Amino acid sequence: LSAPPLSAPPGAPFLPGLSAPPAPADDELEGMVGGSATMREVFAQARRVAPSEATLLILGEGGTGKETLARAMHRLSPRRHRPFVPVYCEAIPETRIEGELFGCERGALPGAHTARAGLCEAAEGGTLLLNDVAELPTRVQARLLRFLQTGEVRRVGASRARHVDVRLIATTHRDLVQRVRDGSFLSDLYFRLRLHEIRLPPLRQRPGDAVRIAESLLRRHAWAMAQAPLTLSAEARAAVAAAPWPGNVRELENAVHRAIVLAERGEIAPAHLGLDASSPPPVPPADALEAEPPSDSLEGYFRRFVLEHQAALTETEIARRLGISRKTLWERRQRLGIPRARS
Ligand SMILES: Nc1ncnc2c1ncn2[C@@H]1O[C@H](COP(=O)(O)OP(=O)(O)OP(=O)(O)O)[C@@H](O)[C@H]1O
Ligand SMILES: [Mg+2]
């Protein structure tokens, strides 16, 4: 979605009394929906911070909209016409991440037959988004810190550094303070990243927003299909409002998309959303999603979750729902003796 035009296009209907473009609504930000007081505050903070050049850290549980907010910030910034380059730190193998981010000279890394620019350089003039920044190995964290301090990138194997103009946005669902304490995240990098910090609250702490988002998804779907929107039954509204949504907006979005298929026409009932009013689905304790092992109950939860879901979900999706990296998922599978089922 792009910003609304500043002047009405030719042939636009005349709206009496409307001489200036309307002020941006405070219950949405570039397509993000949120009328709760907590989200209005987030949107206000995001609008203040967007024009800044300073590094931004976005925190929040899985599925709360960190990447979506980062994209909105880019579109609201003076860099909007320049590249937006998202990087998924946990998805890049450790042996390749330095070359991917910073580039490399010919022959400096295995398989580097030609010199190659990294993603930092690809974002020149624009915004670089580092998703899951806590998953970067310490060696790469140090290189990133040097880049932030000097504004210069040195490709792997290069003797000369080159100036690169990018704004960095980083996200994580981890507790970075804890990571700094246990020595797995560089404190200097942490302080450098959080020049601005925005914390996205979990969906269960945004009163009214789950229903707002669900209805906005239904309207958007109806618009795309050029048909009348499906509506939520009174029970479905109540169920959406009451559900804890441990997977936050992503989980809600999946539930609504499933309901659209199942309900086909007319009204959506709680069952279409997978919300059975009589037996609410069991929810892991909130901190189980964030916490690290080992604890017997957590391991039990992990084992049950993996065994129950591995037939239906990809490894990426399982890791995402558990709030861990794919690497951690793999390691835990090995440790607990539940290797990946062969398909
Ligand atoms: N406020 C919102 N209004 C409408 N849709 C939203 C909102 N926040 C997030 N979404 C949608 O929810 C989904 C998940 O958002 P996103 O990928 O940005 O979350 P995330 O915090 O980066 O997740 P993860 O931690 O798993 O990487 C996306 O499809 C996004 O469009
Ligand atoms: Mg994300």
DSSP string, 211-262: HHHHHHHHHHHHHHHTSPPPEE-HHHHHHHHH---TTHHHHHHHHHHHHHHH
**Domain range summary for the chain, segments of one domain joined by +:** 28-199, 203-273, 288-336
Ligand nearest to the CA of 257: 1
Ligand nearest to the CA of 250: 1
Q: Predicted confidence band at 8 (pLDDT cuts at 50, 70, 90)?
A: very low
User: How are beta strands 152-153 and 162-163 bridged, if at all?
Assistant: antiparallel
Q: pLDDT digits over 99-139, tens only?
A: 999 999 998 888 888 889 999 999 999 999 999 999 999 99
Hey, whose CA ends up nearest to atom 15 of ligand 1?
65
Q: Which of 18-22, 146-150, 220-224 has the lowest mean pLDDT?
A: 18-22
- Residue 172's nearest CA partner among 327, 325, 43 is 325
Mutate to test the pocket of ligand 1, among 216, 240, 249 (most ligand atoms within 8 A of CB): 249
Could you tell me if 103 and 156 are in contact, meaning their C-beta atoms sit under 8 angstroms apart?
A: yes
User: How are beta strands 28-29 and 32-33 bridged, if at all?
Assistant: antiparallel
Q: Which of 183-192, 203-212, 216-225, 269-278 has the lowest mean pLDDT?
A: 269-278
Hey, whose CA ends up nearest to atom 2 of ligand 1?
32
Taken in order 197, 203, 209, 215, is the CA torsion positive or negative? positive
In the structure, which protein residues have their CB atom closer than 6 angstroms to any atom of ligand 1? 32-34, 60, 62-68, 131, 173, 213, 249-250, 253, 320
**CA-based end-to-end distance of the chain:** 39
Rounded to 5°, angle at Cα 274 from 273 and 277: 100
* Residue 12, C-beta contacts closer than 8 angstroms, at least 6 positions apart: none
pLDDT above 60 for 16? no
Q: Predicted confidence band at 292 (pLDDT cuts at 50, 70, 90)?
A: very low
* Closest-lying ligand 1 atom to the alpha carbon of residue 60: 21
Q: What is the CA radius of gyration of the chain?
A: 22
Q: At residue 29, what are phi and psi to the nearest 5 degrees? A: -140, 105
pLDDT above 60 for 285? no
Select the highest-mean-pLDDT range: 109-113, 127-131, 224-228, 338-342. 127-131
Which H or E run includes 188?
A: helix 187-193
pLDDT above 60 for 284? no
Q: How far is the CA of 329 from the centre of ligand 1 (A)?
A: 22
Query: Could you give the C-alpha distances from 61 to 110, 173, 200, 245, 316, in angstroms and in order?
Result: 36, 5, 8, 11, 16
What is the pLDDT of the chain when averaged over all its residues?
86
Q: Which of 14-23, 290-299, 318-327 has the lowest mean pLDDT?
A: 290-299
Query: Could you give the C-alpha distances from 341 to 53, 67, 223, 324, 329, in angstroms and in order?
Result: 46, 31, 41, 19, 13
What is the mean predicted confidence (pLDDT) over 15-36?
Answer: 76
pLDDT above 50 for 281? no
Ligand nearest to the CA of 64: 1
| Topology classification of domain 28-199 | Rossmann fold (3.40.50)
CATH class entry, domain 203-273: mainly alpha
Q: Which of 188-192, 197-201, 291-295 has the lowest mean pLDDT?
A: 291-295
Q: How far is the CA of 64 from the centre of ligand 1 (A)?
A: 5
How is residue 141 written in tokens?
A: 């964290």
- In whole angstroms, what is the distance from residue 144 CA to residue 168 CA? 10
Hey, whose CA ends up nearest to atom 29 of ligand 1?
250
Q: How far is the CA of 217 from the centre of ligand 1 (A)?
A: 13
Per-residue model confidence (pLDDT) at position 20 = 58
Per-residue model confidence (pLDDT) at position 141 = 97
Looking at per-residue pLDDT, the higher value among 45 and 340 belongs to 45
What is the mean predicted confidence (pLDDT) over 63-73?
Answer: 98
